Amino acid sequence: MTAEPLKQAVEVLRSARHAAVCAHVDPDGDAVGSVLALTHALNAAGVRADPVLASGDHAPATYAFLPGAEQYRTVASLAEQPDVVVALDAPSPTRLGEAASLLARASAVVVVDHHPDNALFGTVCVVDPDAPSTSALVWDLVELLGVPAEQAILDCVYCGLMTDTGRFSYSNATPRAFRLAATLAEAGARTTWVYRNVYETRSPAALALTARALDRLALANGGAVAYSWIEEQDLVQTGALQEETEDLIDAIRVVAGPDVVVLFKCSSDRVKASLRAKDGADVGSIARALGGGGHRAAAGFTVEGTLADAIAALMPLLPARPR
C-alpha cells in the first residue's frame, strides 16, 4: 500500500464536521480497538467523532474496559446524519450492519481495513491486507494526524493488534506486527493491563460454555477437520453472553492433527461458522463460496438452516484425508 490513501484519508477526516466511526457487526477486539483509537485521535485533532455500533446497543462486555467504550452510540441515537463515515475492519457495507444506513447520505466514506476481499466501497480506501490488524492502519492515521499518542489511543491500538494476531502467534504476527507492538509499548501502552483485561477476566459462565464446546469436539474429513458447536440454549443454561463466544474457536484450535478448525454457533434459524486454518489452507475463499468472507487463515460465514445443513454445505469444501 502506498502512503497516498493514508494522506487522503487524513485530509477528509480533518475537514469532517461530524464523523461516525464504525466497524463490523459483532465487534471483536480489533473492531472495538480500532474504532475507539480513531475516535480518540479525531477528538484530539478537534474533529467531532462518535463511535457507532453496527449491532447491539452497547459495547461488548468483553471490551468495555477499553477507554471510551462508554461513548458508543447506536445509529438510532445519533441526533444528526454525520457527514463523514469511517468504516473500520469491514470489507463490505453489509458487514456494517445498522451503520450501513449512514453511508448513502455521507459526503465522504473512509474505508480502513486489512481484509483481502475488501470491496473498496469508500471515497477513500486505506486497504492493506499485509497489515496485521486494522488498528495498525489506524495507528498510521494517528501519526499522520499529528496528535499526541495518548494513553487511550495506545491501549486501544494495542488491543486490536494483540487480539487479531492471536497474542502474536498467527501468521499475521509478522515483523511489522512485532515492530508496532514495540513502538506502542515504548510509547506507554499498558500491554499487561490490556492482556489481563482481554484474556484473564473470563466469567465462570464463559468457562462453562467453553467446556461444552470442548466436550463436543469432533473430527471430520478423515481427521483434516475438527469442529464443535454451541446452541442458543447453551448460552441460556450457562448464562454466558453472546460476546463471550468470540474466542471459543481459540479453545478448540489447540487440538493436534486437523488442518482446519470450525466452530458453529447455532440459533433458531441460522448457523454462524468460524473457520481457522492451521496449516495454510485458504479458509477465506471457502467462506466466500458460502456467502461469507475473511482472511486466508481466519474467516466466517452464516447459513440459514440447521447445524446439519451447515455441516453438509461446508465439509465437502474443506480439506480431507484418505481414510
User: Where on the chain is the footprint of ligand 5GP (CB under 6 A)?
Assistant: 24, 28, 91, 95, 274, 292-295, 298-302
Which SS3 state, helix, strand or coil, does residue 52 take? strand
Which SS3 state, helix, strand or coil, does residue 25 take? coil
**Which has the closest alpha carbon to 176: 126, 125, 117, 135?**
135
Q: Closer CB to ligand 5GP, residue 12 or residue 51?
A: 51
Kindly list the residues in this chain that would bind Mn ion in the complex (CB under 5 A).
Answer: 30, 89, 134, 164
- 122 binding partner (options ligand 5GP, Mn ion, none; Cβ < 5 to 8 Å by kind): none
**Which has the closest alpha carbon to 138: 60, 21, 19?**
21
**Which has the closest alpha carbon to 103: 117, 76, 122?**
122
Q: Closer CB to ligand 5GP, residue 13 or residue 299?
A: 299
- Asked whether the beta carbons of 139 and 157 are under 8 A apart, the reply is yes
- 34 binding partner (options Mn ion, ligand 5GP, none; Cβ < 5 to 8 Å by kind): none
- 301 binding partner (options ligand 5GP, Mn ion, none; Cβ < 5 to 8 Å by kind): ligand 5GP
Provide, rounded to whole angstroms, the least separation between the CB of residue 311 and ligand 5GP. Answer: 16
Cell triple for 188: 506507554
Provide, rounded to whole angstroms, the least separation between the CB of residue 298 and ligand 5GP. Answer: 4
Provide, rounded to whole angstroms, the least separation between the CB of residue 225 and ligand 5GP. Answer: 15
- 30 binding partner (options Mn ion, ligand 5GP, none; Cβ < 5 to 8 Å by kind): Mn ion
Provide, rounded to whole angstroms, the least separation between the CB of residue 30 and Mn ion. Answer: 3
Q: Closer CB to ligand 5GP, residue 18 or residue 296?
A: 296
Provide, rounded to whole angstroms, the least separation between the CB of residue 271 and ligand 5GP. Answer: 11
Q: Closer CB to ligand 5GP, residue 10 or residue 177?
A: 177
Provide, rounded to whole angstroms, the least separation between the CB of residue 273 and ligand 5GP. Answer: 8
Q: Closer CB to ligand 5GP, residue 36 or residue 108?
A: 36
Phi and psi, residue 127, nearest 5°:
-125, 120
The b-or-e profile of 44-78 (16+ CB within 10 A means b, else e) is bbebebbbbbbebeebbebbebbbbbebbbebeee
- DSSP states of 193-232 as a string? HHHHHHHS---HHHHHHHHHHHHT-EEEGGGTEEEEEEEH
Q: Closer CB to ligand 5GP, residue 42 or residue 235?
A: 235
CA gap 83, 73 in Å, rounded? 16
- 91 binding partner (options ligand 5GP, Mn ion, none; Cβ < 5 to 8 Å by kind): ligand 5GP
